[in-house]
Amino acid sequence: MQINRIIKTKENSVKLIFLSLIFISIYSCTEQKSKFTDAQVFRYNEHANISSLDPAFAKDQRNIWAVNQLFNGLVQLDDSLHIQPDIAKKWAISQDGKTYQFILRNDVKFHKHLLFGKDSTRLVTADDFEYSFERLLSKKVASPGGWVLQNVKNFKAENDSVFTINLKQAFPPFLGLLAMKYCSVVPKEAVDYFGNSFRANPIGTGAFQFKLWVENTKLVLRKNPLYFEKDSKGTKLPYLEAVAITFLPDKQSEYLQFIQGNIDFMKSLDASYKDDILNIDGTLKAKHLDKIRMQTGAYLNTEYLGIYLDENLKNPTQHLLIRQAINYGFDREKMIKFLRNGIGTPATSGFIPKGLPSFNNQKGYSYQPEKARALMAKYREETGDENPKITITTNANYLDLCEFIQRELQNIGLQTTVEVIPPSALRQAKSSGKLAVFRASWIADYPDAENYLSLFYSKNFIPNGPNYTHFKNQKFDALYEKSIKEINTEKRYQLYQKMDSILIKQAPIIPLYYDEVIRFSQKNIHNLGINPIDLLNLKRVKKS
């Protein structure tokens, strides 16, 4: 086993050297005036190969991070999740909340590109957004992001600099949807020229432009000299000359390369190395303090156990007393401390996670084993079921958490089995209602609590929506329908909190923890930033 590990590490080291040689050759052949050093290159690894550089397919983080460097939309989010101008320099919303009118900048250009035998570029106009939105909705394109415009009645380029969107009904989180990378602007002539291969020949407006992509091996982006944004001192962005992304699938190999200084940044935390880099309280180990910088912050991700609620399903979890007993029956703080080295916050305040403005730290479920035993006794008395049993289905990555819960629940008298299946099988079984209790997570697509509460709206039962639990509550539905029309922010947040209180009381889920963004970078990386949607934004990053 040790020999195999050494061989694997050597193979990965050879591969990394080979990739570095490829990258060096790329920019060493560039004209003298544009040469740059390795100190101006930001390097990171992506475990899964990027599947597309087309923003219409920016569905998951691996694609979103790369697309975010290449493309812009009407608006963008800052690290506090506030909506900021992007290509639209300002906008106005009608009093009824249905009409949005955007005024575009007149200095945004598409990347230089070699189409039709000539090297050219041009200014972005409102017509480009009209085309890009039509493309997002096109059945021929079949973008997974078409849903972001499902509430849009129509849109129109009024002239070169004015773009208007009309909604079917008011939807206050709409600007947050427009900040998603799906809504990026693309040039029609480039899409027409490249066709389906636009995914590997992206032309956008972003701070970096496409240079080279060897799939499963390396992606290289170069600084866009025509980029329109500047810093507070008037200096043009970005500061970096290039971004180099490798695709080593083994997380231990990635960690080794990071520790050796061969990559600049590492995201997330893996069980294979967490005890080497972190203390049990979640702080960086002393041996790394002089070389590594660690950043943590709230992440819009709630990890939970979902319960499929179907009256035809004969399972103890159909009973509220069992669901409440489970929620009271395990120690979330202990679980986070020992199994995640303190990374994460125990989910004792409902389903809406920390990091959202509507999170109000309301009282949810804490560890109360005696109360859990009392609820179990009451369940036995009411049902006559003297030996209730449940099965928690998970994938291998969360086995330790589920086994911890299993041991805790057995201590309150609930016989618990943990079943491990592959991630793809878990997703399929969860979607088809075949699992009584399943481990799941919900990462926000946009920064509004509606994104979380939509999981429990009865009209969103799978496969028509994300309601995997089949939770149905008339009061919840009425509050949800009222909230998505409420323009006043404070009133909308109050409605969200009332809905979250219903979820706490009815317990269709067992919240485990609110995740945290964790980023490790070399000490010579500056302005990396951190945000609750874990979006990587490199236009202001400096490397010294």
Q: What is the pLDDT of residues 100-115, one digit of tens each?
A: 999 999 999 999 988 8
Q: Half-sphere exposure (CA, 13 Å, Cβ side) for 195?
A: 0
Beta bridge partners of 345: 514
Q: Structural domains in the chain?
A: 40-253+524-543 (3.40.190.10), 298-517 (3.10.105.10)
Per residue of the chain (544 residues), what is the pLDDT tens digit? 434 443 444 455 545 444 454 444 444 444 444 566 778 999 999 987 899 999 999 998 999 999 999 999 999 999 989 999 999 999 999 999 999 999 999 999 999 988 867 778 999 999 999 999 999 999 999 999 999 999 999 999 999 999 999 999 999 999 999 999 999 999 999 999 999 999 999 999 999 999 999 999 999 999 999 999 999 999 999 999 999 999 998 889 999 999 999 999 998 788 788 889 999 888 999 999 999 999 999 999 999 999 999 877 789 999 999 999 999 999 999 999 999 988 899 999 999 998 888 887 889 999 999 999 999 999 999 999 999 999 999 999 899 999 999 999 999 999 999 999 998 899 899 999 999 999 999 988 888 999 999 999 999 998 888 999 999 999 999 999 999 989 888 999 999 999 999 999 999 999 999 999 999 999 999 999 999 999 999 999 999 8
Helical residues (DSSP H) of 140-242, grouped into ranges: 174-178, 188-194
The pLDDT value recorded for residue 24 is 46
Provide the pLDDT for residue 379: 97
- Per the CB < 8 A criterion, the answer to whether 524 and 222 are in contact is no
User: DSSP string covering 253-293, please?
Assistant: HHHHHHHTTSSSEEES--TTTHHHHB-TTSPBPGGGTTTEE
pLDDT reported for residue 34: 54
What is the predicted pLDDT for the residue at 445?
Answer: 85
Query: For position 29, what pLDDT does the model report?
Result: 44
E strands of 50-206, at which residues? 75-77, 83-85, 88-93, 99-104, 113-115, 118-120, 152-159, 162-167
With beta carbons less than 8 A apart as the criterion, state whether 451 and 445 touch.
Answer: yes
- Residue 316 and residue 385 in contact, taking contact as beta carbons nearer than 8 Å: yes
Q: CA-CA distances (angstroms) from residue 309 to 92, 472, 506?
A: 43, 9, 11
pLDDT given for residue 184 in this prediction? 98
